[in-house]
Structure 1
Amino acid sequence: MTGFPLPAFPLPAFLAGFGLSVVAVVVLLAVVFAVAVAQKRHSVIDTAWGLGFVVVAAVTFLASANDGDDGRRWLMLTLTAAWGLRLAVHIGWRARDGKEDPRYEDMLGDAPGSRNVYAIRRVYLPQGAVMLFVSLPVQVAMYAQGAVGWLGWLGAAVWLVGFAFETIGDAQLTAFKRNPANRGTVLDTGLWRYTRHPNYFGDAVVWTGLFLVAADSWPGVLTILSPALMYWALANKTGKPLTEERMGARPGYREYVANTSGFFPLPPKPGRGA
C-alpha cells in the first residue's frame, strides 16, 4: 500500500458533539434574545458573539474527553476561551450605556410586522449558523488524534499575533475615545496608522491560527472555509464596510482612507486608495 495512512477520526462521536453544540448555541441565543427584549436593544447579541464560541469550545471539550488528544483539546479550549472572553468583556464594557447600536436601529427600524420576530430571522438565526460554521476548526480539533505537531504550535503562534493585534488596537481606540479633545476626529496613530481595522484584522488572524491548530491533524484541513468566511465577513460584509459607512462623513476620514490600508497592515502611503 502506497502513501501515508490518514489518522483515525471518531466521526460518530464528532457528529454527536456537534449536535450538542447546536443545542448549546440555541439555548444561548434564546437567553440573549430574552435579555434583548427585556432591555429593548438587540445589540446585546454582539456581547454574546464571543461567548458563543466559548460555549461551543467548552461543550465540545467535554464531549470529546474520551476521543481526542488531550494536549490539542486543552490548547483549543484555552485559545478559544481567551479570545472569546476578551471580546465579550470589551464589547460589553463598550455598550454599558444601555443604548441600541445604530446598526441595529437601521436594520430593524423598518421591520415588517414584529420587530422582535424580524430580529430572530435577520440577526439571531444567521449569527447562530455562522457561529457553528466558523467554530468547525475548534470542534474538529477536539476529536483529532495524535499529539500536537509543529503546524499546531505554529497555529498557536499565529493566534498570539492576532490576539495581540486586536487587543492592542482596541486598547488604542478606547484610549483615543476617552480623550474629549479627540471627539469628531480620526485615530491614525499606533496600529491604526497601518490598517483602518486592526481589531478586525486581528480577529481574522486569530481564526487562521485556530485553523492551523486543527489542520495539524486529519481532517482539520477540511475546515479551511471557516476562517475564509471570517475573513470575508470582516473585510467585505459585516465588519469593515459597515464601520466605514458610519465613519464616512467624519472630517478627515476620506484622507485617512486614501492614506491607510483597508485591512492588511501596510506602511501608510499618501495617495494610496483603499
Structure 2
Amino acid sequence: MDLDTSNLRRVTAASAVVVTALQATTATLALRAGRRDYADGVWGPGLAAVALTSALVGRGDPWRRWALAAVTTVWAARLESLMLQRLTGTDEEDERYTEFLEGDSTPTVLAKVFGTQALAQLLVSAPLQVAAASRLPRGPRRWLFPAGVAVMIAGGVVEAVADRQKSAYTAAKEKAREAGQDDDVPDDLEVLDTGLWGWSRHPNYFGDSVVWDGAWLAAAASSPGAWTLPAPVAMSYFLIYATGAKRTEDKMGDRPAYQDYQRRVAFFFPRPSR
C-alpha cells in the first residue's frame, strides 16, 4: 500500500491544530473589529498552512509534498494580496456577512463562519495531506504527480489573468466615473466581456477550481489519493454555489447588460461566446 496510515494521522492532526489556531486568531480579531468578513482573509493562508504542515510532518515522496506545498503557497499568497486590498479598502463589513449573520449570537457566528471554514479547509486540503503521507508507486501512474502540478499551475495562471483583467476593467470604469460619465457609461464598460471573461462569466472561479483539481490529480498518483475526489468536488461546489459564482449572478442578474452577457457567454466552464 502506498499510504502510511500512521503518518497520515499525524499529518491530519497537525493540520487540524494549525487550522484551528489560525481560525481562532482570526475570529478574535474579527469580533473585536466587528468585521466578520475577516474570515475571507484566512482562507488562502489556512490552505497554505496545511500544505506546508503536511510537507513538514509527512514522510511520503519529498518531491511531491514540497512541490504541492510550494504551488499552494504561491496560489495563496496571490489570493491573500487581493483579499487584503479588499478588506483594508473599506471600514464596512461585507454585506454578505451582515445579511447571513443578522441576529446571530457570538457562538453561532463562530460556528457558522470560522468553524465551518476550518472544516472546509481540512476537507479541500485532503489530497495534500494524503499525498504527503504516501509514497509514489513505480510505473506510469506516478506521472499523474507532475501532470497534477502542471494543472495546478495552469489553473493558477487562469485565475491570476482573470483577476488582472477584472482589475483593469474596474479601474477603467472608475476613471469613466471620475470623468463625469456616470449617466453615460461607454458600451465597452457596461459589462466585462473581453479576454477570459468572453469565454466564461466566472473565469477566476473556474481557474481556482482547476487548481484543486490538479492537487487531487497529483495525489491520485498514489492509490489512496484517488479516494480524495470529494475534496475538489467540494471546492467546485463552494466556488459555484456557496460563496462564488451564483451569488454574483443573483446580484448582477437584474441588469439588462448582464442579462445579455448571460445569453452570450458560458456560465462557468469556458467556451467560445455566442
TM-score by length of 2: 0.89
Counterpart code for 1:75: A
- Cα deviation digits, residues 93-151 of structure 1 (max 9, x gap): 12222321111111122x24x2x333212111111111101100001111111379311
SS at match of 2:261: helix
Counterpart code for 1:85: A
Per the TM alignment, residue 92 of structure 1 is displaced from its structure 2 partner at its CA by 1.2
Residue from 4, 12, 17 that aligns with 2:6: 12
Counterpart code for 1:72: R
Larger mean CA deviation between 156-165 and 145-154 belongs to 145-154
Match of 1:126 in 2: 116
Match of 1:135 in 2: 125
- Cα deviation digits, residues 158-206 of structure 1 (max 9, x gap): 1121111100000111111112227783211111111010111001100
Match of 1:150 in 2: 143
Per the TM alignment, residue 34 of structure 1 is displaced from its structure 2 partner at its CA by 1.2
Residue from 182, 189, 192 that aligns with 1:187: 192
- Cα deviation digits, residues 54-88 of structure 1 (max 9, x gap): 11111111111xx2111111111111111111111
**In the alignment, is the contact (CA less than 8 A) between 1:47 and 1:89 conserved in 2?**
no
SS at match of 1:35: helix
Match of 2:27 in 1: 33
User: Does residue 246 in structure 1 map to residue 251 in structure 2?
Assistant: yes
Residue from 22, 26, 40 that aligns with 2:16: 22
1:156 and 1:191 mapped to 2: Cα distance?
22
Q: Which has the higher contact order (CA 8 A, sep 6+)?
A: 2
**In the alignment, is the contact (CA less than 8 A) between 2:149 and 2:215 conserved in 1?**
yes
Match of 2:38 in 1: 44
User: Does residue 80 in structure 1 map to residue 72 in structure 2?
Assistant: yes
- Cα deviation digits, residues 205-229 of structure 1 (max 9, x gap): 0001111110011211111110011
Q: 5 Å matches for 1:142-221? A: 142-146=132-136, 149-179=142-172, 180=174, 181=176, 185-221=190-226
2:84 and 2:252 mapped to 1: Cα distance?
21
Residue from 222, 230, 233 that aligns with 2:238: 233
2:110 and 2:154 mapped to 1: Cα distance?
35
2:51 and 2:65 mapped to 1: Cα distance?
9
**In the alignment, is the contact (CA less than 8 A) between 1:25 and 1:52 conserved in 2?**
yes
Counterpart code for 1:32: T
1:20 and 1:68 mapped to 2: Cα distance?
15
1:160 and 1:220 mapped to 2: Cα distance?
19
User: Does residue 103 in structure 1 map to residue 96 in structure 2?
Assistant: yes
Residue from 26, 50, 57 that aligns with 1:56: 50
User: Does residue 257 in structure 1 map to residue 262 in structure 2?
Assistant: yes
- Structure 2, unaligned stretches of length 5 or more? none
TM-score by length of 1: 0.89
Counterpart code for 1:124: F
Counterpart code for 1:134: V
Aligned-residue RMSD, C-alpha:
1.7
SS at match of 1:219: helix
Q: Percent identity?
A: 36
The structure whose residues are more often helix, as a share, is 2
SS at match of 1:263: coil
Residue from 50, 63, 68 that aligns with 1:71: 63
SS at match of 2:193: coil
1:27 and 1:95 mapped to 2: Cα distance?
21
- Cα deviation digits, residues 42-62 of structure 1 (max 9, x gap): 111111100000111111111
